[in-house]
Amino acid sequence: MIQSAVAAFRLPDVRRKIGFTVALLVLFRLVAHVPVPGIETERLREFFASSQLLGFLNLLSGGALENFSVVAMGVYPYVTSQIVFQVLIPFIPRLQELSKEGEAGRRKIAQWTRLATVPFAMLQGFGQLQLLRHGDAGIIAASLGFFDTFVILIVMTAGTMFLLWLGELITENGVGNGVSIIIFAGIVAGAPRALGQALFAGENIAGVVAVTVFGLVMIAAIVFVQEAQRRVPVQYAKRIRGTRMYGGQSTHIPLRVNSAGMIPLIFAFSLMLLPGTIASYFVGAEADFVSNIMRWARDALSPASVVYWVFTFLLVIAFTYFYTMVVFHQQNLPENLQKNGGFIPGIRPGKPTQAYLGRVVNRITLAGAVFLGVVAVIPFFIQLITNVQSMAISGTGLLIVVGVVLDTMKQLEAQLLMRNYRGFIS
């Protein structure tokens, strides 16, 4: 791997792509420290200790939300827009037609996704401001009026679109997927501070070592499952055109054990954090009956309760199946195989092939769904065992980091193999 890294830097075009990516990430981290006017950042950091929802959004924003910077929302509104469009494609005929039109259709859907990012960013920015208003009146300046709030929303939305632009520049001229790398950079940037807090904040050294070991084991397990796949054999029939014979080769369909990635965890955590956050608004209600119910709901659905993690585990499994089935039906594998003269040995084309692939996907998705559920809840048990609170491990963060690293390494490997160098992974 070291020799491959040295070989990559010796290639001018690869070195230029790596340098371009690093330069834009440095720009992102600089902008992440430019705060929005009218926000008391010191009180905001104190509020983060009591709001799990803001902590989760801070992870997806790359740490920018903690400073409430102009890029506080990160690229999360764009991620939300992508998820919504992927879910809607099977249900909207126009989107189905575009998805089948090849590169032109995909570009059109991508354009609509970027346009939909703007209202999603406005809504998320408004929700974050409302959280700060209800959580602590001292976080937002009392003199902040409607016009000032609207300006802040415009600035934050512009920050999201700026990061999206940086991500597209990285994708086109750098290395890896730009949007994923921006999220990855924010997560990694917060790791040294978390480690420093654990070492110098009075945490027991044995617990810190145990958390580190748990983290390394989780990374190894994530790499194993992310790369695991069921290879379904496919045979292509021989076809004669003129004097030439085509087809006849054997290949396989790589069905991934975890084809949903981090999406089910984002869905599950967002859904589980929302009721507790809403309940906290009404804890101080004048009616004792309403106040008691909301206080019970807030405590029962807080990340410190077992009920929260049990429901999170079940929701992750449910969302994994849902998202995997949506993606599987969008690929339309049986029809594409039949059009290209391919078939699975021993399985008739058409509906029998669809039923067979559906059974295979259901079986391997069970393993992937249970694994994602374990990744989602295991940080809770690690904290209980080690009693280390300042060095919390995020399953979603680890999935993002591992996925981005693997994808980037594969792209660099492809660049090296094109020039007959040995790759990073192979």
Least confident interval from 63-67, 69-73, 159-163, 177-181: 63-67
Percent helix / strand / coil, the chain, rounded to 5: 70, 5, 25
Confidence band, pLDDT 50/70/90 cuts, at residue 38: low
Nearest-angstrom CA–CA distance, 82 and 60: 15
Dihedral of the alpha carbons of 234, 240, 241, 244, in degrees to the nearest 10: 100
Give the pLDDT mean for 221-242.
Answer: 80
- Give residue 281's pLDDT: 64
Measured in degrees and rounded to the nearest 5, phi and psi for residue 245 equal -110, 130
- Closest alpha carbon to 354 in 364, 344, 345: 344
What is the share, in percent, of the chain residues with pLDDT greater than 90?
Answer: 3
- Closest alpha carbon to 59 in 187, 215, 193, 198: 187
Q: What's the maximum distance between 2 C-alpha atoms anywhere in the chain?
A: 87
Taking all residues of the chain, what is their mean pLDDT, rounded to a whole number? 77
Span 56-77, pLDDT tens digits: 566 555 556 667 788 888 787 8
- Per-range mean pLDDT, top range of 84-93, 143-152, 240-249, 409-418: 84-93
Question: Are the CB atoms for 224 and 199 separated by under 8 Å?
Answer: no
- Give residue 280's pLDDT: 65
- Give residue 161's pLDDT: 92
- Give residue 296's pLDDT: 76
Asked if residue 53 has pLDDT above 60, the reply is no
- Give residue 137's pLDDT: 46
Give the pLDDT mean for 149-154.
Answer: 86
Asked if residue 408 has pLDDT above 50, the reply is yes
Confidence band, pLDDT 50/70/90 cuts, at residue 132: low
Asked if residue 128 has pLDDT above 80, the reply is no
Span 291-328, pLDDT tens digits: 777 777 767 777 677 888 888 889 889 988 888 887 78
- Give residue 134's pLDDT: 57
Asked if residue 122 has pLDDT above 80, the reply is yes
Nearest-angstrom CA–CA distance, 352 and 8: 47
Q: Cα separations (Å) of 416 from 175, 177, 378?
A: 13, 18, 37
Confidence band, pLDDT 50/70/90 cuts, at residue 118: very high
Where is pLDDT greater, at 405 or 195? 405
Sign of the C-alpha dihedral computed for residues 371, 372, 373 and 379 taken in this order:
positive
Nearest-angstrom CA–CA distance, 262 and 124: 20
Q: Which domains does the chain have, with CATH numbers?
A: 1-201+400-426 (1.10.3370.10), 204-388 (1.10.3370.10)
- Give residue 240's pLDDT: 62
Span 20-32, pLDDT tens digits: 988 998 898 888 8
- The helix (H) or strand (E) run that includes residue 234 is strand 229-236
